[in-house]
Amino acid sequence: MAAIEIDGVTKRYGDVVAVRDLSFEVEEGEVFGFLGPNGAGKSTTINMLLDFVRPTEGTVRVLGHDTHDESVTVRDHLGVLPEGFSVYDRLTGRQHLEFAIESKEADDDPDAILERVGLSAEDGDRKAGGYSKGMAQRLVLGMALVGDPDLLVLDEPSTGLDPQGARQMRDIVREEAERGATVFFSSHILGQVEAVCDRVGIMRDGQLVAEDSIEGLRETTSADTVLDIVADDVSEQAVADVRAIDGVSEVERSGDALTVSCESDVKTTVLTTLEDAGVDVQDFETEEASLEDLFMAYTTDEQEVTA
Ligand SMILES: Nc1ncnc2c1ncn2[C@@H]1O[C@H](COP(=O)(O)OP(=O)(O)OP(=O)(O)O)[C@@H](O)[C@H]1O
């Protein structure tokens, strides 16, 4: 059973099609990063997962249950950090957690959760109305963790977090996945996504334009890998030979150093071509396309996606 099954889902708001014939699955135990530019349809999709919004067409199943018809069953196994959440100003942080523990009939220790999300016991005694944005974000994450949910859905979990908070968030995502939970989260902070996700899905104009591991995305985009090569006996002919390789987009030479921008799968061809041309390769380093490069390749028209 997949943790999330989205099948032929379309969501229209009047004339606006927020999500268009979307289908994909997230396996149990997977950490899935949900990406896309502003307005691509991420929040709409998450809101349909949580039954906050009904699809115009198609079905959404979470943990094997229809999100709408069996919403109560689903909710028992779900931990949610929603977008634009609000805290209750007059309740303390600890009271928020106690409330979440009671309503989920869980037996978590509120202080252990406070510590896990980086709030002190004193913070827990304070009214949440006086919390900073990042503190409130930490508290709501803590509430999502109550009851060891099978699926964690986090909409922009890193918003407002300081670098230490962002690291704690990554650690928590990893710990939750190790425990066996599925984690589905949207984010614009691609470094975070790159650090924790098994797979990513990239939305654009209401559709999923890519769905793969980051390594898999590298293989299917034209986002370049950069090869920094140090070599002896670099001839003009050798440079010309490398330039002529299909998949090489740029070659820069500075003395005996070469910088070659190319598709990931022609790296070896670049090196063997140099050697065949009599160049003595001393050393090389590769800089793989970052998730940001891949994101740009899939969400702008500037770069071509080959598969
Ligand atoms: N309640 C609504 N009424 C009308 N249009 C809506 C509504 N909610 C979303 N939309 C539209 O649907 C499209 C997708 O919006 P959505 O909020 O899902 O994007 P997103 O990918 O989450 O964007 P962001 O990264 O900015 O949060 C947008 O064009 C948006 O204007």
pLDDT, one tens digit per residue, over 161-211 is 888 888 999 999 999 999 999 999 998 888 888 889 999 999 999 999 999
Write the residue with the smallest CA distance to atom 18 of ligand 1.
41
273 lines ligand 1 (CB under 6 A): no
Between the CA of 45 and the centroid of ligand 1 the distance, in Å, is 9
Instruction: Indicate the CATH number of 2-218 among 3.30.830.10, 3.30.1490.20, 3.40.50.300, 3.10.350.10.
Output: 3.40.50.300
What are the tens digits of pLDDT across the range 99-133? 999 999 999 999 999 999 999 999 999 999 999 99
Mean pLDDT, residues 245-261: 92
18 lines ligand 1 (CB under 6 A): yes
Q: Rounded to an integer, what distance in angstroms lies between the CA atom of residue 217 and that of residue 199? A: 9
301 has a pLDDT exceeding 90: no
Write the residue with the smallest CA distance to atom 11 of ligand 1.
18
Mean pLDDT, residues 281-304: 82
Residue-level pLDDT at 307: 46
Domains 2-218 and 224-288 share a fold: no
Strand-pairing partners, residue 9, are 22
Between the CA of 60 and the centroid of ligand 1 the distance, in Å, is 18
Any idea where the domains of the chain sit in the sequence? 2-218, 224-288
Architecture of the CATH domain 224-288: 2-Layer Sandwich (3.30)
State the burial class of residue 112 (Cβ atoms within 10 Å of its Cβ: 0-12, 13-18, 19+). Answer: exposed
Q: What is the mean pLDDT of the chain?
A: 91
Residue-level pLDDT at 293: 83
Q: Note the ipTM here.
A: 0.97
Write the residue with the smallest CA distance to atom 29 of ligand 1.
39
Mean pLDDT, residues 130-147: 94
Residues in CB range of 166: below 8 A, 6 or more apart: 158, 189, 192
